[in-house]
Amino acid sequence: MRSLRSLRSRARTWATWPRVALTVLLAVALVFLLPYAWRTAERKAPPSATGPVPRPGVPSGFFTGSDAAGVRRIAEVERWLGGAPLTVGHTYLPGDRWSNIEGHPALFEPWARWKAERPGRMFVLNVPLLDRNEEGLSDAEVRAGLRSGAAGAFDGHFRTLGGRLVTYGLADSVLVLGWEMNGTTYAHRCGPDPEAWKAYWRRVVEVLREVPGQRFRFDFTPSRGRDAIAWPDCWPGDDVVDVIGLDAYDQPAGLSFEEQVAEPYGLDFHARFAAEHGKPVSFPEWGLFRNGDNPAYVRGMLDWFARHRPLYQTFTDYCPHGVWECAENPVSGEIVRAGLGAVRPPGPASGSARP
């Protein structure tokens, strides 16, 4: 520790320096210190504060669950967004057995009430095309199921589903049939027999369009990229598709948003394919995944929506994808709040996860 005498001696020495020399010394210090301060401030600034976040202005939803509790959570998410309304309600039919694919009052009633409460709300329903949909069926089993469906074996189930939707006031639903058909997750995948898959899709649409009072729109939604099969190989035809969707999660690890745009059958291909077929686009599922809390991806998706104006978009909000229920993604959460919320929220230091 320096002594008081030493400090006083140094002070007297400084006092004897010419003023010009002191001025030069201060100028040199500023030259070296200010750029460092600027760089430090820039590095520490939260991503949500580095520029304006685009506001998509498209019908938006958050998937927080399929049951009545999931419906109630929509209001909680709206409060988290600063009061901005969510106009899209999105849920899924269980694909374990045909009786569930036909739909049940316990599922439809809460969503029907939510939709009726405010004009302009949209209901989106993912519909499995085969039962035992997540039980790892072999390609041979899938092929047999698709061919049976194309031959009309399951018409009655879809006729029942359509009638129940009309009965519950959901006649104008957007139906996402056989989603992510280009992958391997679901039994209703396309790869084992693309021709049978396309014929089956056409048959299901024809059956549902015959339901009295229906005004359904049919959404063809692969997952982004090639996956197990190039998804255009599953295209069933312009006359039986109303919307061309894309499930676009932040994956695989290390893939930048720009690469997600440019990859084969990626975001850019999806937009061009839809334009060529004269169809609106949608994004039934999107969210974080393999790259953690990634604000660059979230910002990129919101900007993409603002430019391409999808019919609707639904953010998948459960871990690891989400930002409201998932405390692991606070920075991305602030980007979502700024892009979809009614007011710009505070920086990420205040926290963005569900209270």
Q: What is the pLDDT of residue 276?
A: 98
pLDDT at 19: 39
Give the per-residue pLDDT at 352: 45
- Token pair recorded at residue 311: 């019919």
pLDDT of residue 48: 42
- Please give the pLDDT value at position 124: 98
At 188 the pLDDT is 98
- Kindly report the pTM of this predicted structure: 0.83
Residue 21, pLDDT score: 37
Query: According to the 3-state scheme, what is the secondary structure of the chain?
Result: CCCHHHHHHHHHHHHHCCHHHHHHHHHHHHHHHHHHHHHHHHHHCCHHHCCCCCCCCCCEEEECCCCHHHHHHHHHHHHHCCCCCCCEEEEECCCCCHHHHCCCHHHHHHHHHHHHHCCCCEEEEEECCCCCCCCCCCHHHHHHHHHHHHCCCCHHHHHHHHHHHHHCCCCCCEEEECCCCCCCCCCCCCCCCHHHHHHHHHHHHHHHHCCCCCCCEEEECCECCCCCCCHHHHCCCHHHCCEEECEEECCCCCCCHHHHHHCCCCHHHHHHHHHHCCCCEEEEEEECCCCCCCHHHHHHHHHHHHHHCCCCEEEECCCCCCCCCCCCCHHHHHHHHHHHCCCCCCCHHHCCCCC
Splitting the chain (355 residues) into consecutive groups of 10 residues, what average pLDDT does each group show? 32 35 37 34 36 70 93 96 96 97 96 96 98 97 98 98 98 98 98 98 98 98 97 98 98 98 98 98 98 97 96 97 96 95 51 47
pLDDT value for 342: 73
Closest CA to 144 of 192, 108, 72, 104: 192
- Distance between CA 247 and CA 271 in Å, rounded? 13
Tell me what pLDDT residue 354 has: 52
